[in-house]
Amino acid sequence: MWEVESLLQATERATYKSTSFGKVDYGHSSTLDELLGSDLGYDPTTSEGLTNHLPMALVAKQRLGATASELRRFAHQYSRRLIPLSQSRHELDSKNWITAIGQRDAATELRDYFARQVAETGTDRALRSHLPELMPGLGGAGFHGVIRLAYAVEARSPSQIAAGLAYLAQVANPLRPLAKVEATSNNPEEILEASSRSGEWRDAPPAELIDDEMRIVASKPAFGALVSQLVIDDFTQRHLESCALHIYASTNNFTALHGVTGMNALSNLRPLFDDTLLLDQYAFQALAAVYLSVGAPSFWSVDRYDEFIGASSSDASAIGAAGAQTDDAHEAKIVYTALQEYQSTANPLYLAVASRATGIAGDESRC
């Protein structure tokens, strides 16, 4: 049995054969495999230095029901912004690979290293033996390192898993060490709401990239203590997902969108981490940086969420079909993520944000 098959079976979120939001023709998987294979010849960042979303969007669109011809059309269009992977300058090994963590110019060296690791030790061991070192930087590039890796695991592609590990390593520059302050609340939303009321974080930092904005707020003295207030328990994962959803629903902010897709990716990868308490600490650190980087906006009231849900489409099939046909990689991913989460939680707010997203193009010039 393929080595991460047990991971895919370990969580209900990994069961993708439901047709509640789109009739997926798994005969198209050969086209998906072909296009994912072709993408391996490209750099994980685009010609503008932004994240290459093609492999993630292809998986999302295929799962939402995109036909083989639609996948090819999208890949052809998206590939115009891609550049070939450069030649390796030197070889990394098991002793020195950690020196390349967070090095944006080490794409090829990391790709080659992880390809060898997957070939020599298998996907499961390669993942489990390297993820602990990468955990502190899980929010790197606006969560796109962990998002790409989660899609690679879902696609069950050893070569994409190697590429996903490589990109995560490339962008996994930690925001800052975790502070040791007495925790006071197990509710991340409560902690963030308090930061909003303080007014201290009202001014969003000016930066071109989401990653840069997150690092600016994380560098402030008060950030460490704020993050350390969270009590980590068995419910933290779900609390973080709910908090991310509420931030995005309340703001419709492009940066906040990545909190939802990032928390979903971490949930899907969770069975690969032994220290899930530490994982949740770093997850909250990154989510807090996302929230504060957009100016610590107010959360909606319960009545406002209900109003938003009532005014949104509840037709999951139609929403999924729109996501399958979109030209916007972020739209495809947020729709797929939201519909996954809706299947898992039955929370109609996920349907509402997915419905809203199908009518809004994301600002892909920032990540």
- How high is the pLDDT of residue 178? 96
pLDDT of 18: 35
Distance CA 40, CA 34 (A): 10
Same domain, 258 and 197: yes
Closest CA to 91 of 112, 120, 114: 112
pLDDT tens digits, one per residue of 188-241: 999 999 999 999 999 988 899 999 999 999 999 999 999 999 999 999 999 999
**pLDDT of 14 over the 50 cut:** no
Range of the domain at 273: 188-293
Do 47 and 157 belong together in one domain? yes
Residues belonging to the chain: 367
Residues 158 and 215 in one domain: no
Domain match, 34 and 104 both: yes
Q: Cα 211 to chain center, whole Å?
A: 13
| pLDDT, position 366 | 55
- Percent of the chain scoring above 90 in pLDDT: 87
Residue 125 and residue 264 in one domain: no
Task: Verify that 208 and 127 share a domain, yes or no.
Answer: no
Which pLDDT belongs to residue 181? Answer: 84
**Does residue 198 share a domain with residue 161?**
no
Boundary-marking domain end, from 293, 320, 336: 293
When pLDDT is cut at 50, 70 and 90, the band that residue 1 belongs to is very low
* H runs (alpha helix) in 294-328: 302-310, 316-325
What b/e readout covers 89-115, taking b as 16+ CB neighbours within 10 angstroms?
A: eeebeeeebeebbbeeebbbbbbbbbb
**pLDDT reported for residue 5:** 40
Using one digit for the tens of pLDDT, what is the confidence trace for 316-359? 999 999 999 999 999 999 999 999 999 999 999 999 999 999 97
- Considering the domain architecture, whether residues 167 and 52 belong to the same structural domain is answered as yes
Which has the closest alpha carbon to 51: 260, 220, 250, 262?
262
Residue, of 81 and 21, whose pLDDT is higher? 81
| Pairwise CA distance, residues 43 & 82, whole Å | 7
Residues 98 and 354: their CA atoms lie apart, in Å, by 38
Task: Please indicate, yes or no, whether residues 148 and 220 belong to a single structural domain of this protein.
Answer: no
Residue 212 is assigned to a structural domain of this protein: yes
Residue of higher predicted confidence among 339 and 16: 339
Residue 365 lies in a domain: no
24, pLDDT greater than 50? no
Q: 127 and 11 share a domain?
A: yes
- Is there a domain that residue 311 lies in? no
- Please calculate the CA angle 357-331-333 and round it to the nearest 5 degrees: 120
Cα gap 293→44, rounded to integer Å: 25
8 Å CB contact between 145 and 137: yes
Do 19 and 162 have their domain in common?
A: yes
Residues 55 and 149 in one domain: yes
Our count of domains for the chain comes to: 2
Return the pLDDT at 228: 97
Q: Stretch 113-118: mean pLDDT, rounded?
A: 98
d(Cα 63, Cα 351) in Å, to the nearest integer? 16
Q: CA-to-CA distance for 171 and 166, rounded, in angstroms?
A: 9
pLDDT tens readout for residues 287-300: 999 999 999 999 99
Decide: 167 and 145 in contact? Cβ < 8 Å: yes
